[in-house]
Amino acid sequence: MTEPLLGAAARQAPFESPSREPPRRRGTAPGGHVCRGRKRRVEAFSCPFLFLFRGVEASPRRRLIPLPVWGGAWHTGAPRSERRDFSSFVARTNTCGELRSAHVGQKVTLYGWIQYQRQGLFLVLRDFQGLTQIIIPQDEARSHVKELLSSAPVESVVRVTGVVSLRPPGQENPKMPTGDIEVKVETAEVLNSCKKLPFEIKDFIKKSEALRMQYRYLDLRSFQLQYNLRLRSQIVMRMREYLCNLHGFVDVETPTLFKRTPGGAKEFLVPSREAGKFYSLPQSPQQFKQLLMVGGLDRYFQVARCYRDEGSRPDRQPEFTQIDIEMSFVDQNGIQRLIEGLLQYSWPEDRSPVTTPFPSMTYEEALADYGTDKPDTRFGMKIVDISDFSQRLGIHFVQNALSYPHGTVKAICIPQGMVSDIFTYSVRFMPDGSLKSLLTKFLGQEQQSELIQELKMQVDDVVLLAAGEHKRVCSALGSLRLESADLLEAAGLVLRDPAVFHFLWVVDFPLFLPKEDNPTELESAHHPFTAPHPSDTSLLYSDPTKVRSQHYDLVLNGSEVGGGSIRIHNAELQRFVLEKVLKEDSEVLSHLLDALEFGAPPHGGIALGLDRLISLIVGAQSIRDVIAFPKSFRGRDLMGNAPDYVTAEELEPYHIQVSWPVAEAEAKKN
């Protein structure tokens, strides 16, 4: 019941985490989901005074962005000045998306898949770049060519050589980039015949995702996946050009076989040949990139493979990719300008352009106005504090809520909220000028007017109210705000234009948070290497809970797409944070503390979640749609059947054996 409160955005992963951080217990929310660090989920129903909410079905919040037509897309996003040669080193003269009326009369050789074939008269040949209509010869002399092409099953691979001709007048297809021409075949060869497919290709998209994953190599032939993977490649290439060629960054590969983070329960283990010793697959290159700065590399980046073992989580992958960046002698402003330039430079030409600088908001503002640290700023419906107004109502349970520390009453006004009839218990602004709500019995005429004015209500608007502790109330209303947006869009209103991209910096996070299970102790809000805000350094020794950090998150359309910080470069400060504030054993990080003592420069960095970023750009429903061979949400490769059983002999060199769960063992084997 509480689950729908958490939209896809809220389930996102953090993009930067230390590969070795002090032990930290992860809080578990009632819904059973493990929370990340201390940016905890707040449950709506634990608010003492949250009304007007009814469980709703989570509906997909993203819509597919209309894509360019097949054959027109591949050159977009490419470096502007360069022309790619897709036919170098092979025998084809052209791709299937290239031919235009200017080619008429040329003899061409194409290679591709038979998309469609009709009555031995013509076929449509497809490759990664587009479609070309192929005319099958009907003369006796080429009967073998006709025989060959007519009998080859759909999805067979063929070579055809022939002459480009204009289509007969009236038969042009303006929707097809090659729609003016056709190729009259002279010779042809079936390079590989396709056996009967397990399903009709045209129905494939409607099949279960499991089937698509099992036959991923067929799904990859679809326009959408070709587009997604090619755009991803091109965006990353542009990012590399910006970082490496324009700004002197060094692409450094860091190890993925490292050492277990104490308490890093989300790290995959890799048994070594030394009995009892394990590598681990790091969640990020955090330690290595800081050590590279100590090593004087000055500007590092890496398109880094990272690993996180979270068991079954929707829209997460056990391995994922981040654009990992670290710089020496930089401040928060420097990193933010760098990233803005990076995104602007690599942004695909067929998307609405990115304007810089991105707006910035403090964590406190984001929470107060949007009830989340990753606000979707594409639409309003901001949270309004109506504590003063509510105080005056004299309703007992409202006043009770306000009497607690940080007690507050807040509201969001949902414009046109009445188009959706699910807000049964909300305050509605009726056409007759009155408010309709279970609350109205508490509201006099004057108070109704006051509320309408305070919230700038219009006819047909709906207001949701919540009272209770500030953070919880904000979080609850923030979730309701997103759910309401879904509902309004499901009812036909457009709130969030999928073609619009709203980037936002969120800054000034708290450096520490009370531990969920023991609020007298503190833990890092992000990771223990984050530097305190320069104005708050002295508070570190007096009231660490008040210290803001130099952490920054990058948010796109309500999803966290990046995060980073200025790091602690002073060994003494780092040791104080670890030992005195976090009460951790600093011994496990001795190499990093050592390194800070040997002339570590001031440094900072960021990591962008590439899978998420690309999925937002292409408007994909899931990050699985921008990954060539994704795992299922249970971490399985359905095509190759991984993970799989291995024999006891194969485990021997690693000095491990399987501890079969007594009852489950047999069941799992079957």
Helix (H/G/I), strand (E/B), else coil: 428: strand
Per CB under 8 A, 622 contacts a second copy: no
CA–centroid distance for 542 within its chain: 38
Q: Contact with a second copy (CB under 8 A): which of 31, 55, 79, 534?
A: 79
Name 314's Cβ contacts closer than 8 Å, sequence gap at least 6: 8, 11, 633
Residue type, 208: S
Q: Contact with a second copy (CB under 8 A): which of 233, 449, 453, 538?
A: 233
C-beta of residue 192 within 8 angstroms of C-beta of residue 157: yes
Q: 419 vs 377, 458, 560, CA distance in Å?
A: 22, 13, 30
Nearer to a second copy, 139 or 649 (CB): 649
Judged by CB under 8 A, which stretch of 97-105, 231-239, 493-501, 545-553 contacts a second copy? 231-239
* Burial status of residue 648 (CB atoms within 10 A of its CB: 0-12, 13-18, 19 or more): exposed
Q: Which of residues 161-180 bind a second copy (CB under 8 A)?
A: none
Q: Contact with a second copy (CB under 8 A): which of 26, 167, 207, 216?
A: 216
Helix (H/G/I), strand (E/B), else coil: 111: strand
The token duo for 603 is 């440094």
Residue 667: enclosing H or E segment and its boundaries?
Answer: helix 664-669
Q: Which of residues 525-564 bind a second copy (CB under 8 A)?
A: none
Per CB under 8 A, 395 contacts a second copy: no
DSSP 319: E
Q: Contact with a second copy (CB under 8 A): which of 29, 35, 244, 491?
A: 244
CA–centroid distance for 327 within its chain: 24
Residue 427: enclosing H or E segment and its boundaries?
Answer: strand 427-429
Q: Contact with a second copy (CB under 8 A): which of 137, 162, 179, 318?
A: 318
Other CB atoms within 10 Å distance of the CB of residue 401: 23
C-beta of residue 410 within 8 angstroms of C-beta of residue 473: yes
Judged by CB under 8 A, which stretch of 24-32, 54-62, 191-199, 413-421 contacts a second copy? 191-199
Site map 567..596 versus a second copy, x via CB under 8 A: --xx--------------------x--xxx
Judged by CB under 8 A, which stretch of 268-276, 473-481, 488-496, 617-625 contacts a second copy? 268-276
Judged by CB under 8 A, which stretch of 55-63, 225-233, 365-373, 459-467 contacts a second copy? 225-233
Site map 98..137 versus a second copy, x via CB under 8 A: -------------x-x------------xxx---------
Nearer to a second copy, 192 or 400 (CB): 192
Q: Which of residues 332-361 bind a second copy (CB under 8 A)?
A: 334-335, 337-338
Residue type, 56: V
Minimal distance, residue 466 CB to a second copy, in Å: 37
Per CB under 8 A, 84 contacts a second copy: yes
DSSP 19: S
Nearer to a second copy, 95 or 408 (CB): 95
Per CB under 8 A, 274 contacts a second copy: yes
Q: Which of residues 640-669 bind a second copy (CB under 8 A)?
A: 640-646, 650-661, 664-665, 668-669
Helix (H/G/I), strand (E/B), else coil: 346: helix
Number of residues that bind a second copy (CB under 8 A): 143
Nearer to a second copy, 36 or 496 (CB): 36
Per CB under 8 A, 330 contacts a second copy: yes
Judged by CB under 8 A, which stretch of 5-13, 174-182, 297-305, 492-500 contacts a second copy? 297-305
Q: Contact with a second copy (CB under 8 A): which of 165, 601, 621, 632?
A: 601
Nearer to a second copy, 23 or 37 (CB): 23
Q: Contact with a second copy (CB under 8 A): which of 226, 344, 416, 621?
A: 226
Judged by CB under 8 A, which stretch of 252-260, 405-413, 510-518, 524-532 contacts a second copy? 252-260
Q: What backbone torsions phi and psi does residue 366 show, to the nearest 5 degrees?
A: -60, -45
Q: Name the residue among 379, 471, 413 with its Cα closest to residue 41.
A: 471
Q: What backbone torsions phi and psi does residue 341 show, to the nearest 5 degrees?
A: -65, -40
Name 486's Cβ contacts closer than 8 Å, sequence gap at least 6: 7, 56, 58, 59, 61
Minimal distance, residue 187 CB to a second copy, in Å: 16
Nearer to a second copy, 234 or 426 (CB): 234
Per CB under 8 A, 632 contacts a second copy: no
Minimal distance, residue 7 CB to a second copy, in Å: 26
Judged by CB under 8 A, which stretch of 100-108, 263-271, 485-493, 535-543 contacts a second copy? 263-271
Per CB under 8 A, 13 contacts a second copy: no
Tokens 């819509």, located at residue: 63
Strand-pairing partners, residue 188, are 160
Other CB atoms within 10 Å distance of the CB of residue 184: 14
Minimal distance, residue 607 CB to a second copy, in Å: 16
Distance between CA atoms of residues 219 and 212, nearest Å: 6
Nearer to a second copy, 213 or 439 (CB): 213
Q: Contact with a second copy (CB under 8 A): which of 36, 38, 92, 472?
A: 92
> Which contacts of 569-575 are long-range, i.e. CB under 8 A and separated by 24 or more positions?
569/531, 569/596, 569/600, 569/601, 569/602, 569/603, 570/596, 570/600, 571/596, 571/597, 571/600, 574/528, 574/529
C-beta of residue 318 within 8 angstroms of C-beta of residue 631: yes
Residue 489: enclosing H or E segment and its boundaries?
Answer: helix 470-490
